[in-house]
Structure 1
Amino acid sequence: MCAAIIAIAGTRITRVVDQLADRTGIGEAAAGALLLGASTSMGGSVLSVTAAWHGNVELAVSNALGGIAVQTFFLAVADMVYRRSNLEHAAASVPNMMHNGLLICLLALILFAPYLPDVTIGGIHPITPVLLAVYFYGIYLVRQASQSPMWRPSVTRETREDTPDDVTEMPPLSRLWVEFLILMAILGIAGWSLEPAATAIADQTNLTQTVVGVLLTSVSTSIPELVTSIAAVRRGALTLAVGGIIGGNAFDTLFTAASDIAYRDGSIYHAMPEDSKFWVVLTLLMSGILMMGLIRREREGIGKIGMESTVIMALYVFGVVMLLSGVQASG
């Protein structure tokens, strides 16, 4: 039920964000990264924080990191839906590439944290404020690059740039903001309700919290990203589709920082299981490949699917197989 609520509210919020992008003039890339990415990630962030507060480190971390991986996988699925050319070619933009670079930096910091001394200040590891500072400074750099880009992707016949719709036919700005905040609150409540269900599933089955986090909760809370990216692609809002996924992924790394604040038994980074570290490495690899695809901008691949999208999907499936094989071996 929680997953269904997240899917419905997350789908609805895409249209609202697209109209807010045109109404406010911030553009699809920024709206996708900041508004759509943060709002559709609300369910997952609340779930991770709640799990950390209850001491379920494995669920908190695997939900956050598994969500980034599956959302990158969803971007490859959206590439399959868009048939005119490869999505990496048509939606290449400076903000999207900057956000992807920021994501790689944030993931590297999470992976670096367990190798630092296990020291906390007020129960918070020093890497947590660093993560927050890097994220907000990165958002500032993305905005600067959007306003005054030092270079631009070459425009081709397949390139789809951000073209605002007629704002006179849209609802008032105040109504859009109210609807956005209500839908965002619904997503957060659904994520809060999903945590005890996920914990119960892990307790009453042979599945570990990592399996539940990567395959159940992260997929459930990431359904809006899949639906919204496909809906945005079909509407021709390609920059919004890619920006929503990549920006949401960068925002999702803050799940770990927020979970460290909520976790009261020390550093959550040093309590991370090895399976969670594996997903950080895998997601880093997927993000690097996506970055290369946005720069390379292959027009068409086999079956009109980008080579990078094919590799990203294969890597995610490989990660799931490795995770399930580990469960069978331990069983």
Structure 2
Amino acid sequence: MSPLLLSCLLFISAAFVMVFAGVKLVKQADTLADQTGMGEALFGIVFLAGITSLPDFASTLSAALDSRADLAISNIMGSMVLNLAFLGVADILYRKANLEHAAASPVNLMLAGLLIALLTLPMFAVFTPLIAGFNVHPVTPIIIVAYLFGLHLVQKTQKRPMWFPRKTHQTVTDDISPNNEQNAALLWFSFLSLALITAVAGWVLMGAAKEITHQTGLPDTLVGGVFTALVTSLPELVTTIAAIRIGALTLAVSNIFGTNCFNILVVAAADIGYTDGSIYHAMDPLQMTWGLVAILMSAILLLGMILREKYGIGRIGFESALMLGVYVIAVVLITSNV
């Protein structure tokens, strides 16, 4: 059997395992969100987002350690853009109303603002001068501190919100109602087991994808920003769709936002893992185009969550249509410049 055919079979098998485990993982997450009293939004940010980001973390850090700066940054930035596009896909699948209308919450607004703020930091690092003698850029520890402070703000917003969305017939609120009949230890064991299965499947999937792209000889920018980003983002797509199917809309939206915020930490980890200086200066500036697109899409989504349009073109919000359009245009423009 040829290496390319073997990689394709591994890719398909890992994808099926990821779908199966991801669906069950979301059900456990929804139950634990109530059981712990954290709510869907906070649980999605702290636990589910970290789990679904593991393939992104593995592929990006691996590329950074191999001194492939373009592949590392294009992979993680492309993944963030794709995750936002997934919300547009999720809005299409949710037919009752605009997803951003139904899943309105102060936590999701806070997450959107936090994501925009975090995305500006790596881009700021690109235009700052190199500091001799330091392999890690000063922006990297700032990213870590900003992320932790952002989590504090999100938790504060969850506990004592100062803004409330207007409830409509289409609004699906996150009502925290602990179910004491289920064993907490068993729930956590099941959740962590499914998380491990999802992570291993994601790792196999990522390895198979890298082998496929290696066999085809595609450039790093195209591989990282489009193909590897698509592969490593499959857990987010699977868990987001699964959350919508069980009616956990807040969990679906916060999972995407939380994953993207966590992925900024992955950027920081890539800078630490890159031993030839600052990764922000080693990469092609073209990679930051993905960051600009992510900021644009996040801002569009934030506007949509504030406006809360019930129905739009094709029964989806204007923000979903715009985000999908921006993603397609970005892929065309970036790949044409490779």
TM-score, structure 2 as length reference: 0.90
Amino acid at match of 1:118: L
- Residues of 1 paired with 2:137 and 2:201: CA distance? 28
How much has 1:153 moved relative to structure 2? 1.0
Moved more, 23-32 or 216-225: 216-225
**Residues paired across the two proteins, number:** 326
Amino-acid identity (%): 45
**Which residue number corresponds to residue 267 of structure 2?**
256
Gaps of 5+ in 1: none
2:37, 2:178 within 8 Å by CA — same for their partners in 1?
no
The alpha-carbon distance between structure 1 residues 182 and 58, as it changes in their structure 2 partners (threshold 3 A), is farther
**Which residue number corresponds to residue 299 of structure 1?**
310
The alpha-carbon distance between structure 1 residues 318 and 79, as it changes in their structure 2 partners (threshold 3 A), is same
- Residues of 1 paired with 2:193 and 2:35: CA distance? 18
**Which residue number corresponds to residue 34 of structure 1?**
46
Task: Give the alignment of 1:71-82 within 5 angstroms.
Answer: 71-82=83-94
- Residues of 2 paired with 1:63 and 1:8: CA distance? 25
- Residues of 1 paired with 2:112 and 2:238: CA distance? 21
How much has 1:251 moved relative to structure 2? 0.8
How much has 1:222 moved relative to structure 2? 1.1
Asked if 1:220 is matched to 2:225, the reply is no
Deviations 1:106-161 (A, max 9, x none): 11011111111222665211111000000000000011011111121111111110
- Residues of 2 paired with 1:11 and 1:210: CA distance? 31
The secondary structure found in structure 2 opposite 1:65 is: helix
How much has 1:97 moved relative to structure 2? 0.8
1:124, 1:266 within 8 Å by CA — same for their partners in 2?
yes
The alpha-carbon distance between structure 1 residues 195 and 234, as it changes in their structure 2 partners (threshold 3 A), is closer
Asked if 1:285 is matched to 2:296, the reply is yes
Asked if 1:210 is matched to 2:221, the reply is yes
Task: Give the alignment of 1:62-211 within 5 angstroms.
Answer: 62-119=74-131, 123-164=135-176, 167-168=179-180, 170=182, 172-193=183-204, 197-211=208-222
How much has 1:207 moved relative to structure 2? 1.6
- Residues of 2 paired with 1:120 and 1:263: CA distance? 15
1:6, 1:221 within 8 Å by CA — same for their partners in 2?
no
1:42, 1:187 within 8 Å by CA — same for their partners in 2?
no
How much has 1:220 moved relative to structure 2? 1.2
- Residues of 1 paired with 2:132 and 2:77: CA distance? 22
**Which residue number corresponds to residue 24 of structure 1?**
36
- Residues of 2 paired with 1:190 and 1:57: CA distance? 25
How much has 1:90 moved relative to structure 2? 0.8
Moved more, 206-215 or 20-29: 206-215
The alpha-carbon distance between structure 1 residues 148 and 257, as it changes in their structure 2 partners (threshold 3 A), is same
Deviations 1:280-322 (A, max 9, x none): 1111100000000011111110211100000000011111112
How much has 1:8 moved relative to structure 2? 3.7
How much has 1:190 moved relative to structure 2? 4.4
- Residues of 2 paired with 1:12 and 1:42: CA distance? 18
How much has 1:165 moved relative to structure 2? 5.6
Amino acid at match of 1:325: S
How much has 1:194 moved relative to structure 2? 5.2
Asked if 1:271 is matched to 2:278, the reply is no
1:59, 1:209 within 8 Å by CA — same for their partners in 2?
yes
How much has 1:168 moved relative to structure 2? 4.1
TM-score, structure 1 as length reference: 0.92
Q: Please, what is the CA RMSD of the aligned residues?
A: 1.9
Amino acid at match of 2:282: A
